[in-house]
Amino acid sequence: MWFTPPPRMVAREDALPGRTQSMPVPERHFVLGTPLLPPFPECEIAWFGMGCFWGAEKLFWSHAGVRSTSVGYAGGYTLNPTYKEVCSGRTGHAEVVQVVYDPTLVGFEELLRVFWEGHDPTQGMRQGNDVGTQYRSTVYCEESKLALVADTRDTYQRTLARMGYGAITTELQAAGPYYYAEPYHQQYLAKNPGGYCGHGGTGVSCPVGVGKTPG
């Protein structure tokens, strides 16, 4: 019986170099009609990786208080990577959703609930049948928000463990460069309603407020 080793992150020195030219970006969100490029006045931004970014983006653009979403690549080394390069495993990037939200209408903690419940964060370098480092579970945000992310992770871990799941493998980091994916990827499932999604989650609820530890 053949054994296929799990995907491994590429080392910085072995990553593809990329290019200085950035990806063209559509002017407006296909569903919301809002800008895809900054500035985003009076809004905050977070980036979530939870497997194939097509279905992940749809989870967030449908949520009240979210002003704009886009899909792209983050957490790696290659400058302005292409989709083909990211899928090669030689850029270090994860497929992510950029979520631009109005904090007066939706809190970051609520977005974390959508994130945790929207995928299985225990699968390592994969999500379902999608296997590769680009499909790993990630949260990139302001450094000041990382403690809240970690709190929700730890409490959700206890909930998942009671249901028989293993350790959460989600990567938590302060946000670095974000590179927009090719235009055809943006709001893909709105343009292609019958397109592949691949998201299901664990079915285990993560109530808002799970990260708040009593004083």
pLDDT score for 213:
37
Confirm whether pTM is higher than 0.85: yes
pLDDT above 80: residue 139: yes
pLDDT above 60: residue 50: yes
pLDDT score for 2:
60
Strand pairing partners for 49?
138
Span 147-175, average pLDDT: 97
pLDDT score for 212:
43
Can you tell me the distance from the alpha carbon of 198 to that of 180, in angstroms, rounded to the nearest whole number? 21
pLDDT score for 65:
98
Can you tell me the distance from the alpha carbon of 127 to that of 39, in angstroms, rounded to the nearest whole number? 32
pLDDT above 70: residue 215: no
Residue 168: count of CB within 10 angstroms of its CB: 18
pLDDT in tens, 87-125: 999 999 999 999 999 999 999 999 999 999 999 999 999
Burial of 49 (0-12, 13-18, 19+ CB in 10 A): buried
Angle of helix 108-117 relative to helix 146-162, nearest 10 degrees?
40
Can you tell me the distance from the alpha carbon of 50 to that of 190, in angstroms, rounded to the nearest whole number? 19
pLDDT above 60: residue 11: yes
| Beta strand pairing call for 137-141 and 171-174 | parallel
Sheet (strand 66-74) strand order: 171-174, 137-141, 44-50, 94-101, 66-74, 178-180
pLDDT above 60: residue 211: no
Pair of tokens at residue 193: 């309603």
Give me the active site residues, please: 52
Q: Which residues in the chain belong to E strands, given as ranges?
A: 44-50, 66-74, 94-101, 126-127, 130-131, 137-141, 171-174, 178-180
CB 135 within 8 A of CB 52: yes
Span 198-209, average pLDDT: 75
